[in-house]
Structure 1
């Protein structure tokens, strides 16, 4: 050791603390303890110069990068629990507990309130039928419809509403004019019955009395002394099927011909069971089968024009072709009991061929 190094060493020793000086003295006395045991030596000291690979520079760069990354990562400060302290979480726990309690209480209250309300409604007057009104009726009085419906005022309305179709069926069976009816709620505990009546399409004459005929062919068993309006008057019909067949043909006639019809009589013969005797307002009569009524009656204005030219009143025979002839001398045109099968009547020169 040179003399120059000794002053430097002395200066350095002066800067050491008493503990460091004592440590140096100990190391001098025990030099073997300063050696690093083979197991604790780093891997770099154990690797010989010959075993160092050629890419030592790359490895050193990677080690430097790792050290820089470690330096950049800030040290995690030790804090309290991740979820915060118990005192900090206490308000949230209380709030969550209150929410759960509120939901449970709401469900329980709902479960008890709904049956209570239903029971209260069932025993209250609101659950009982208080009134029945009729709408859409023209011919039948409302009181008569209510009586035949037989709804029970003051009794449970829901049981009656569920069986409303039975009430309507009973009404339609008892009242022939009713085509259909429907029951609806009108307010909280009232019913309104919408009624649809069959239309009157004709009158049936019997014993100088008239009974209305409905659109379904049924005859209302009521008698009036005089037919009302311009509806056709039928005579001699007994079943609804034949009446419907005649009305179907009648509705196909032109307006001019329909206005000229006064009365339609069913007058079958042995040869033709569907023959009609039609009395016209101009004093003439027409013989025509029911199935051919709409087709042949539309030729009536032409035939009448020829008959008027000859100043003749009589019978227009459309049973087979179309022919017209005057009334027999002993038979008046106003006599409705005239025999329509008499073969002694002379035909007039007026005739019309059907295309």
Structure 2
């Protein structure tokens, strides 16, 4: 139908069924295009096939649980939900930032930047969590065994900062193997560290060499086994050799009875 005015101001209308059908046809086409675009975006037949999570410290299952994402979820449930995922963890103290990407085949990638817990340090009667900058956070009841205890360090000291920096360069498996890090300088080595491992061994090493020389640890375990040493000392400060405990080593271990007990509990629970 067309409406127009002539010079006298009268309104005329023309009702043409052909034009009406053409208009209806194009309207249907537009609606179909919009619907197809919507279906292509939401993909109601598609499900989440796989979720890959990139973290430094957190377990991937923790991340998926916190954003409530599960393999097998409908694709449309997560389409365009990148901002919603960020909102779900905005009050989570362990997560600094998070991003999510999803392709049309149902593969999800989640990248997490964490506020790391690099260990725990005791000041007076209270334990404090240390972040990646060697700064202490809120007081806690006791360490949870997921990161090492730092002993004989001053909070905020250069030695502690360098030690944490070296610790973070280790791979995830090696980091989880360390139960306690003791600043243990001696006359001939003012930067010596003593690492009490969760398997009961004691490692002497320098922080500046930790990332490079801790790669030798599995090899040294094999050497100990050949020598018939169940647990002992692995010295990676100068060269690399394994030996039995001496009195000075035992004294150091006795002073770390807290971690020693925690390590044995962790080791026994992991065997179960």
Structure 1 or 2: more strand by fraction: 2
TM-score by length of 2: 0.48
Larger Rg: 1
TM-score by length of 1: 0.37
Q: Which structure has greater helix proportion?
A: 1
Structure with more relative contact order (C-alpha pairs < 8 Å, separation 6 or more): 2
